[in-house]
A and B are shown apart, each in its own frame.
Chain A
Amino acid sequence: MIDEPHEELELTSALVPLFVITNGRALPPDNTYERTTLVSAQEGAAASARTLSPEARRVLELVTEGFLSVAEVAAHTHLPLGIVRILLAQMEESGHIIARKPVPPAERVDREVLNAVLDGLKARFGA
């Protein structure tokens, strides 16, 4: 049997798959670690950084000296946002980081209440 010469298969996918980086952990709930959530390293977290995976350690390095948004962490680590969110959830659980929720957008006030106020003002100032 003659082996026809075939070029070798070259593997282009990342060596370490993303699900291993997250250790198979599920995504955190949608309302946590949003793009604008700010994260920072917990004090003294650097000491135990040896136990973290290289990716988590990189995240920790990024946020060591201040707050950085989740979206920025994702951009700088070149990891998909969801992966970063899982890592952050893991790291907050293990006490490496703290997260601050973004300021919630003002709650929508009932239109009727506004109308009532407007009516009141009109009645008072006769606009």
Chain B
Amino acid sequence: MFRDALVWCLGAVAVIAVAAALALSRRNKAIAAKKRLAEAELTRQLSAADGQLAALSAELQRHRAEHDQTIADAEEAAEESTKAVLKGSARFLQSLAAEQLALLEEIQRKYGGHSVLGDLLEVSHANAQMARKAQGIAVMCGAPLGRRNRPASVYDVVRSAQGQIRNFRRVEIMQQTGFALKASAVSPVALAVAELLDNAASFSQQGSPIEVNFQRVQKNLCIVIDDAGVGMNDEDRQKASTLLSGDFSPRLSHLGNQPKFGFPVIGLLARQYGFRVDVTGVSRYGGVRAVVLLPEELWTEEEPAVPEEPQVSGIRGSVGRPEVVARTAHGLPRRGARQVPIASVPDQAGASPAPASEDAGRAVGRSLGAFQRGTLSGRNLASAPSEGSDDA
């Protein structure tokens, strides 16, 4: 009886245990399934969030790019409008300076014999420097340079450049050449050389010389400018080369308060007109050697014709000269052989217009002895058939 009861009890316990185990395992399974479900859900959410994040960051990137673009555009627009404003002013200044130079030249010729000439020369020096600055600004803004319509010897082009800097007396042109620049190259090369000379003068000691030489290297004509300054370090050289190549032109707004647009201007000119400028050399004084390299398209060998002075050589020549022609075609008083030399007796002609003046003049002439003989011998040797042709 007791044994039966025990068996029953054990059986019941076993059943309960099995049932419990079953229940537990089922529950476990359910939990595991739930966990997987939850995990899957979370992963999905995570990836969705990731996607959103990516989209957002892409948008951010886009906004940033747009922003940069807008800034660049605004800068570009500002640069362009600055350039446009400056361009107009520069052109105005340029033409005014050119007009003034022409005017001054006229005045200098008009008052050539007056002591005011000395001051006029200084005024025109100041004006030439202003013209250079105006041209530089014009080039930076993309405005055209004033042009010359006549070829000129490269020597004269350098002299023209020389006149555009402050301490122009320091510049020494060591030789003259038979090379002429074509008309289209005259203005740009003059401006480029002027900027180089200005640089050479600014970065070397007061009073030290700046030497200019010409050299023909193969098909190129070189203008070599040596200064006795401190030279440049490697970084400066690198910068200068970049600017001079014309590949990179700094914005106007980046030029600063004391704008140095020498090199950018040269670079732009060089690129536009097809010459090259190099400043990496060392001069024989230890300063900078700047070389302007002009390809053969820009120059010719023969000296340009000098149209203004064809009659100058005419005061010498054959001995026979026409007797009584008052003036040459060019308005110069023509001297007959028997006429009183203008130089030795200047007052005679004006004082006595009577026919006796000639005799009186000759008498005075004779009395002047050696003085007279000297001038006459000079004149006879140097008489002129072409002092101005009669039919011209």
Contact = CB atoms under 8 A, between A and B. Distances in A.
B102 interface: yes
A11 B146 contact: yes
Interface string B312-332: 110110000000000000001
Contacts of A35: 113, 346
A68 B387 CA distance: 15
B378 A16 contact: no
Contact of B112 (A30, A72, A80): A80
Interface residues of A, number: 51
Given A8-B146, A9-B95, A19-B163, A81 B379 contact: no
B343 A20 contact: no
Given A12-B98, A36-B346, A74 B112 contact: yes
Interface of B: 80-81, 84, 91, 94-95, 98, 101-102, 104-105, 108-109, 111-115, 117-118, 121-122, 124-125, 128, 144-149, 152, 155-157, 159-160, 162-163, 168-169, 176, 186-187, 190, 308-309, 311-313, 315-316, 332, 342-344, 346, 368, 371, 374-375, 377-382
Interface in A1-59: 1, 6, 8-24, 26-27, 30, 35-36, 38, 40, 50, 54, 58
A103 interface: yes
Contacts of B176: 50, 54
B304 to A, nearest CB: 10
Contacts of B377: 66
A67 B146 contact: no
A46 to B, nearest CB: 13
Contacts of A23: 169
A79 B374 CA distance: 25
Interface of A: 1, 6, 8-24, 26-27, 30, 35-36, 38, 40, 50, 54, 58, 61-62, 65-69, 71-72, 74-83, 100, 102-103
B159 A20 contact: yes
B163 A66 contact: no
